[in-house]
Chains A and B, each alone.
Chain A
Amino acid sequence: MTDYEAVIGLEIHVQLRTNTKMFCSCALSFGEEPNTRTCPVCLGLPGSLPVANAGAVHYGLMIGLAVGSELAPRSIFHRKNYFYPDLPKGYQISQFDEPLCLGGNLGGVRIHRVHLEEDAAKLVHAGASGRIQSSRTSVVDFNRGGTPLAEIVTEPDIASAEQAGEFLRLLRTTLRTLGVSDVNMEEGSLRCDANISIRPVGATELGTKTELKNMNSFRFIERGIRAEIARQEAVVAAGGKVEQETLHFDPRSEAITSLRSKEQAHDYRYFPEPDLVPVAITQEMLDAAQAALPELPAAREARFVEDLSLSADAARQLSWRSEQGDFFESALSANPSAPARTTANWVIDLVARIDAEDPADGPVTPAALGRLVVLVEEKVVTGSGARQVLDRLITGGGDPDEIVEAEGLTAVGGDDTLAPIVAAALQANPDVVEKLRGGDMKPVGVIVGYVMKETKGRADGAEVTRLVRAQLGL
């Protein structure tokens, strides 16, 4: 049986968070009444003309710089012609063969291009409003129409659904850090299409690709890609051929359906938009974009490793997921004596246990988590005691010092309290003592366990081991 590998490229549309639309001065819409953010330009009224938004170009350049693109000294807009009710002019103004940014790399995935275009309006299917007789009609709301979009196209460098998900999270973090977009998939400000093909492992030729359209959450994207890879493998295993087509993934049924229709025969008749002039990047525009760049995930990752001595894995996780990195850094700044490496591990433990994309949305505040790290560091509470404190924080929030106090989790330490318990433990386990004396330190765990039981987990394991050695003269 042949093994197959997947080859995946992504096309991501990101709504830019400018003040105004791409080609007119209407403010962007955030849930206003339908058709209250329109003007002659974004309604495509006869005689109206587009004028490109300097803010959108600025954001486009920031994205290009952030992913290491080559910024085109001169780029132009084209018209992409097709009829659809959400497209008021009968064409979308987009960029075609001379885009704003070319090439680049983000987290090891090569970027093919980044270009600017305008978003379509929203079609509301009247069936949804419950009026049966109108299920054959839709209503167009042009509020969203003309919102600036950056379209980011990757090279087919992605080999799995998981990697696609990782890349998208890094991209989202990058865009959010740049402040150019809300990057909220649920609200449609980030939309992703995936081009997927499979080929025998080791083959260099690309297989026929399908396009999986418009997936609107990270989970759906990963599931959709996984399902499409499985579908293609099944087609090939059954002796069939994958057909080039556009597909839709239904996350509820996991079903993949073809969007093929009689209008599939697209011929977009691209030609240079005569109503717009070229965008020619000036030094001033470049300087402004450069100056607006904050610390990006790759730089943060490097700083975490070099300045804070985090492990490579921890540094990557906390920098690629900016909300986790932000949580980590605020835990540190609220508790300057907390060691960074340990704090990072506690943050990673925390996010593994709570169900939130952003740990700051959970019950544990960064300051509380940092304080808990300090309490462990100062041996006020033991590691296992601290885990109990964390349990309490996760279920009900609160202040770590108060929880330690209230639950009596203060570490039992010091020779005065701990030494007699250790002595008792040794006395109760003569066989262990014999092995220890013989140089076999493995059974020390039995003694630690005894002490833990006696102290209800408030003893420090390392401290117990030290006392065992001292009392046995090892």
Chain B
Amino acid sequence: MSTLRDLTAAQAIAEIESGALSSDEVFNAYREAAAGDTLNAYTWVADEAPTAAEGPLSGLPVALKDLFCTEGIPSQAGSRILEGYLPPYTAAVVEQLQAAGSRIVGKTNQDEFAMGSSTENSAYGLTLNPWSADHVPGGSSGGSAAAVAAGLAPWALGTDTGGSIRQPAALCGIVGLKPTYGTVSRYGMIAFASSLDQAGTFTRDVADAALLYGHMTARDPRDSTSIGHPEAIAIPTAERLDGVRLGVPEELTGDGIEPGVLAAFNASLKLAQELGAVVETCRLPHAPHALAAYYVLAPAEASSNLARFDGVRYGHRKPGDGTLLGMYTATREAGFGDEVKRRILIGTYALSSGYYDAYYGTAQKVRTKIADDFRDAFTRFDAIVSPTSPGVAFKLGEKTGDPLSMYLNDVCTVPASLAGLPGISIPNGLAAAPGGGPELPSGLQLIGPAFSENRLLEYAHALEHAIGFDGSGARA
């Protein structure tokens, strides 16, 4: 039976504009669904419908990854150290969506400070994959992905540092867009790794991604690295890929990709050819080193970004032995989870005296080479395609004991992050999990040159229709 929560955001807006549905009716349907959330996708849900600004988003609800600061609403970034933290201001991109008529329905669960690929590193409990309660939703924006997939929000915001939008979107069978670095303001996003963090969208389909993203881009004077998008974002309509050159990097489609995921990917490449695309193999020679560079750069920046959590101005505090040093160490020991500590330690080590050049300096150079690889590839190709994640959703607890195997989840998404390029993951059907069990969603990733979102969305739209994935199974 179809409900209003089966509508895409664009469809819901059309119904509201036509008068067939009221804005509050839509908001409350989602608000009630979110309040009854059994996946632990949400960490906070609105008590009532807030007043909406007049605007093209027609009062539609939006779910926000918890690390977006929202004035007077808990913004805990999945961390114990920020338990109950109420910011005195709202993130720039959230303000922008509110001004366009959007309303916050809830805050979603995430890996602590966006560090993780499974949403198992949250101080506020696990989030379950709506396709299978034994499986992770991916991460770090797992709450947003699960909420949208399960019909608990029409769309949601996430952030992507090394794959934190694209990977959970893939694992939950929805669309995840990580835009070009700098197109969306980071002001008010609780930082993980500043040179990589970028806000993006979770939507049911590609058209919704374009619609939501179009209201998020702007040059923000409060974020020095923000540049906005050089052109307006159009709602995609393409059904064909005639003459579009798609590069398939050997480095992201070989060993380590689960057979089921690879089969689904190859099937979609065939579809692309049928739509008129030219599909060829390409090389990103430094992509195999991207993960290593990423796991230097991101923890190094994080170790510094997380130094502000010191128990002085906000958040959790433990007195320790009563000295300043004791207060600092006790506060941070109790406030941070395992993975955050791990990354702070790696990052601190990589920046410490005598190691900077070997780690941070080298990783920055690898970053240059990876950007060069993409630049070379884009002289021959309009977009690069790969599986989004090497596997379908894994079982809860399966990888928590082995950090490196968890990190390998990001192998296909990290290269574009390092180069600051836009990437979109679209559902690529269901694939068999290696250990048996239910078939689970896998994702197809398209990567384009910087600021190529409009083209990328058109390609994604054409492929999405050809693949014809039905996501209603998660909204049962």
Contacts and interface: CB of A to CB of B under 8 A. Distances in A.
A46 B301 contact: no
A89 B308 contact: yes
A270 B303 CA distance: 12
Given A46-B69, A46-B85, A47-B91, A271 B304 contact: yes
A276 interface: yes
B190 A83 contact: no
A50 B360 contact: no
Contact of B322 (A51, A52, A79, A136): A136
A49 to B, nearest CB: 5
Interface residues of A, number: 30
Interface in A247-270: 263, 267, 269-270
B310 A83 contact: yes
B351 A46 contact: no
Contacts of B224: 49-52, 275-277
Given A269-B351, A271-B356, A40 B307 contact: no
A269 B304 contact: yes
A48 B223 CA distance: 9
A81 B304 contact: yes
Among the interface residues A46, A83, A270, A276, which one has the most CB atoms of the partner chain B within 10 A? A46
Interface size class of B (residues with CB under 8 A): 35 or more
Interface string B182-224: 0000111111011100000000000000000000000001111
A81 B308 contact: no
A269 B301 CA distance: 11
Contacts of B351: 81, 269-271
A45 B304 contact: no
B308 A44 contact: yes
Main secondary structure, interface of B, reads loop
Interface string A106-119: 00000000000000
A271 B300 contact: yes
B353 interface: yes
Max chain B C-beta neighbours (<10 A), residue from A51, A81, A83, A91: A83
Contacts of A202: none
B468 interface: no
Nearest to B327: A85
Contact of A47 (B187, B356, B360): B187
A325 interface: no
B304 A47 contact: no
B358 interface: no
B365 to A, nearest CB: 13
Contacts of B69: 45-47
Given A46-B82, A269-B348, A269-B352, A90 B310 contact: yes
Contacts of B85: 46
Contact of B87 (A44, A47, A52, A271): A47
Interface in B75-90: 75, 77, 82, 85, 87-89
Interface string A70-110: 00000000010101010011110000000000000000000
Contacts of A46: 69, 75, 77, 82, 85, 87, 190-191, 308-309, 314
A45 B313 contact: yes
Interface string B163-183: 000000000000000000000
Contacts of B190: 46-47
A44 B88 CA distance: 12
A61 B431 CA distance: 61
B312 interface: yes
Given A46-B87, A49-B187, A274 B77 contact: no
B307 A81 contact: yes
A255 B118 CA distance: 59
A89 B309 CA distance: 8
A268 to B, nearest CB: 8
Given A51-B221, A90-B304, A269-B351, A45 B87 contact: yes
B225 interface: yes
B328 interface: yes
Nearest to A267: B353
Of listed A49, A136, A140, A277, residue having the most chain B CB within 10 A: A49
Given A45-B88, A81-B351, A275 B304 contact: no
Contacts of A270: 351, 356
Contacts of A52: 224
Interface in A9-57: 40, 43-52
Contacts of A47: 67-69, 75, 87, 91, 186-191
B476 interface: no
B232 interface: no
A236 B198 CA distance: 59
A90 B324 CA distance: 14
A263 B324 CA distance: 12
Contacts of B75: 46-47
A83 B356 contact: no
B223 A44 contact: no
Given A46-B69, A83-B310, A274-B195, A267 B221 contact: no
Given A46-B190, A267-B353, A88 B308 contact: yes
Task: Count chain A CB atoms within 10 A of each CB in B68, B75, B310 and give the residue with the most.
Answer: B310
Contacts of A43: 313
B189 A271 contact: no
A91 B307 contact: yes
Given A46-B87, A271-B356, A277 B310 contact: no
Contact of B89 (A40, A79, A276): A40
B175 to A, nearest CB: 26
Contact of B308 (A90, A140, A263, A277): A90
B198 to A, nearest CB: 12
A55 to B, nearest CB: 15
Contacts of B304: 79, 81, 90-91, 269, 271
A226 to B, nearest CB: 34
Contact of A140 (B186, B225, B300, B312): B312
A88 B313 CA distance: 8
A267 B348 CA distance: 10
B307 A83 contact: yes
A264 B252 CA distance: 47
Interface in B285-314: 300-301, 303-304, 306-310, 312-314
9 contacts: A44-B313, A51-B222, A79-B304, A81-B351, A267-B353, A271-B300, A271-B304, A275-B194, A277-B225
Given A51-B221, A85-B310, A267-B353, 13 more contacts: A40-B87, A44-B308, A45-B69, A45-B87, A47-B67, A47-B189, A48-B187, A51-B223, A85-B312, A90-B306, A90-B308, A269-B352, A274-B225
Interface of B: 67-69, 75, 77, 82, 85, 87-89, 91, 186-191, 193-195, 221-225, 300-301, 303-304, 306-310, 312-314, 322, 324-325, 328, 348, 351-353, 356, 360
The 5 closest A-B CB pairs, nearest first, are: A90-B307, A269-B351, A274-B195, A274-B194, A46-B190
